[in-house]
A and B are shown apart, each in its own frame.
Chain A
Amino acid sequence: MTHEVAPDRLHLTLFISGASPASTRAVRRLRDLCDRNYPDGYDLEIVDVYQQPALVTSRGVVAVPTLIKDLPLPIRLLVGDFADESAVLTALGLPEPTAA
């Protein structure tokens, strides 16, 4: 995911803890949600906190799962396993699912 980032293109970083069932579930839910709502594509970087602890620190992450929406601005921090889909969409700046 190192190609040029367009300012309007959705760029996400997801912090999870290893291959725990909760992490796997969160990744699946997020992918599913983004696939449905971003047909034009999106960038998703997945970080295992145990693999890149320095990045966890530098990004100020305390919880897993944590999703950081870097682009488009403003930066948003989402914590949780994406069970509340409407909250995720609002945070990502998308209209409510009813409008989709």
Chain B
Amino acid sequence: MTSPDVAGRGGPARVMLPKSLTGIDGFDEITEGGLPTGRPTLVCGPAGSGKSLFALQFLVNGATRYGEPGVFLTFEEARDDLVANTSSLGLDLAGLERDGKLLIDGVTLQPETIVETGDFNLEALMVRVAWAVEKIGAKRVAIDNVESLFVTFANRPAMIRSELQRLFRWLKANGLTAVITGERGVDTLTRHGMEEYLADCVVLLDQRVVQEVTTRRLRVLKYRGSIHGTNEYPFLIGLDGMEVLPITSLTMDQQVSDERLSSGMPGLDEMLGGLGVFRASSILISGTSGTGKTTLAANFANAACERGERVLFFSFEESPAEILRNMASVGLDLARWVAAGLLHFHCERPTTLGVEARLVTMQRLIHQIAPMLVIIEPVSSLSSDTQGPDASAMIVRQIHYLKSAGITTVLTSLTGSGSGEPSAQHISSLVDTWVLVRTLEGSGERNRGLYVLKSRGMAHSNQIREFILSDNGVRLVPVYIGPAGVLTGSARAAEETIERDIIAGLDEKAAQLAAALEGRREAVEAHVAAIRTDFETEESLTRRLVETTEERRVALQSERTAEGHKRTAASTVNSPSRERPGDPREGASR
């Protein structure tokens, strides 16, 4: 039971509950601002679930980022041990203590050295906390783990309970934002029912081992006076301490882009409305093993690098060296992009980390590298080590996260040999473009057929293209559709040869015809020439005849005129014939 009288800050008029940021990545998002200011929060979970780290980060971040000094009261380890152990997490507790931003009070209780002689209370503990808080002007307090008191003073649980209640009231009365950690009980949140007194905010940490991989979860069980995410959120304890998987707002308000990006394969771009995929969309490439999914994904990467964009390539099956070598064999030189700092690989065996750890790592890298394109190869490995809905929910979140960050995502997914796509089903509804690579069997060979199953927001091809991997890269060729159906590979080649032969035959025939025609024309022309020659001969002969005839006529006429003169020599000579000497008849009629 909390007693509102000592809090002194309650009131119906308050609209927003004041909150204090923990600085733990992701947690402040779930709780929309952190822990309730001036109130104690119970953080419970089994041993090793990260309670102490949560408490410590809450204090350290408060001291370093939010200007709120903190007191760390730990029952778990001695001060020096704590300082040493946390330095590996990059926390400089000793330095913070020197600067008066942090005060560590290690309460090491050793039950075997303690003898109980009668009644007592824990007033000295209260005094210690109060003194520490006053000494550095603390705004935050963390008590870790309060339940060890029940172990030390095992026969007085009632006294400890009431004393702790007193302590919590005191913290509240002094407006201290506090984190109290407690060990998870069998049927209760904490072994000794601390949740009864710390009802303002309860955070549950959990650690499960699923198929030999540890996965950590966090859940905000209760947050009085505030809305909060109620899901279980995965978290990771990494080099930078605790990170809760940053929660993407699952609202659908992300920016959409009209920009189209080439896939790096003209044939595929052509199938995708001729322009390629949308920026910030997600592309799923699924297919059975050995269908060239990686190559397709690598082409996307290559195209992005050619545009000068950074690419982050997550590979859970192959090492960077393997990918570089394999891609070089199909004419893709990715090594130059690695050298140019554009292409970043992150390779990890799927079994080394839990799925959450992997996703958190991925997000951290995405933050660090700020890529424009992310490739996850294969996305199916993210779900292979944990069962079903858990992992797929995680992937859904990841895709949303990338989308809202404006990052184009290429996911590959390994499917079984069946025609169904079970492993891709849960994400297929989420992706924007789904490219399926299938093996087409026939004529004793397997060939690759590629088709675009869906692609939102564009008119995409409904054709199956044969997908050919060669030394020079990827080629997508329309498959041969003949009377026997879709033909690929050598069947297509054979069919194409037949076609080629027919065409060659036709060509030959046409040439023959053309030659024949030419011959005929030459013959005709020769004939024409001969006729012309004949004609010309005839013409000249005729002309000669005409000329001779004329000469004779002129000769005759002049003879006749001469005779006329002889006959009319005695009479008057009227000679109109002089005017028309050429007309012998006129002259003659006179």
Identify the A interface with B (CB < 8 A): 15, 17, 22, 26, 49-50, 53-54, 56-57, 60-67, 74-85, 87-88, 90-91
Contacts and interface: CB of A to CB of B under 8 A. Distances in A.
6 contacts: A54-B131, A63-B123, A66-B120, A79-B114, A88-B115, A90-B115
Contacts of A60: 107-109
A14 B149 CA distance: 21
Contacts of B108: 60
A76 B115 contact: yes
B107 to A, nearest CB: 6
A56 B127 contact: yes
A62 B108 CA distance: 10
B420 interface: no
A84 B155 CA distance: 15
A80 B124 contact: no
Given A54-B131, A56-B131, A57-B131, A62 B119 contact: no
B358 to A, nearest CB: 43
Interface in B522-547: none
Given A60-B107, A63-B120, A87 B115 contact: yes
Contacts of A49: 123-124, 127
Contacts of A91: 115, 117
Contacts of B127: 17, 49-50, 53, 56
B495 interface: no
A41 to B, nearest CB: 22
Given A49-B127, A53-B131, A57-B105, A62 B117 contact: no
A76 B132 contact: no
B72 to A, nearest CB: 13
Contacts of B107: 60, 62
A34 to B, nearest CB: 13
Q: Is the interface of A mostly helix, strand, loop or mixed?
A: mixed
B47 interface: no
Contacts of A67: 117
A80 to B, nearest CB: 4
B76 to A, nearest CB: 14
Contact of A83 (B105, B113, B119, B130): B119
B117 A80 contact: yes
A80 B123 contact: no
Contact of B116 (A22, A56, A79): A79
A64 B116 contact: no
Interface of B: 105, 107-109, 113-125, 127-128, 130-132, 149, 153
A57 B117 contact: no
Nearest to A30: B117
A55 to B, nearest CB: 10
Nearest to A89: B117
A80 B118 contact: yes
A75 B115 CA distance: 11
Nearest to A87: B117
Most chain A beta carbons < 10 A, residue from B108, B118, B121, B130: B118
A17 B131 CA distance: 14
A84 B149 CA distance: 21
A74 B115 CA distance: 13
B310 to A, nearest CB: 52
B149 to A, nearest CB: 8
Contacts of B114: 77-79
B153 to A, nearest CB: 8
Contacts, number: 95
A17 B130 CA distance: 14
B113 A76 contact: yes
A96 B113 CA distance: 19
A67 B117 CA distance: 10
A82 B118 contact: yes
Contacts of B149: 62
A87 B116 CA distance: 7
Contacts of B117: 67, 78-85, 87-88, 91
Contact of A62 (B118, B122, B132): B122
Contacts of B131: 53-54, 56-57
Contact of A64 (B113, B115, B120): B120
Given A79-B153, A83-B119, A84-B116, 13 more contacts: A53-B127, A53-B128, A57-B128, A57-B132, A61-B128, A63-B120, A63-B121, A63-B122, A63-B124, A63-B153, A64-B120, A64-B121, A66-B124
A65 B109 CA distance: 15
Contacts of A54: 131
Nearest to B109: A62
Given A53-B130, A56-B124, A57-B105, A77 B118 contact: no
A83 B404 CA distance: 68
A2 B118 CA distance: 29
Contacts of B121: 63-64
Nearest to B132: A57
B118 A61 contact: no
Most chain B beta carbons < 10 A, residue from A56, A57, A63: A63
A90 B115 CA distance: 9
B119 A17 contact: no
A36 to B, nearest CB: 16
Given A57-B128, A57-B131, A62-B109, A83 B120 contact: no
Nearest to B106: A60
B2 to A, nearest CB: 23
A77 B113 contact: yes
Contact of A15 (B105, B124, B132): B124
Nearest to B111: A77
Contacts of A81: 117-120
A63 B119 CA distance: 10
A21 B389 CA distance: 62
Contacts of A57: 105, 128, 131-132
B119 A22 contact: yes
B70 to A, nearest CB: 16
A85 to B, nearest CB: 8
A84 B120 contact: no
B116 A80 contact: yes
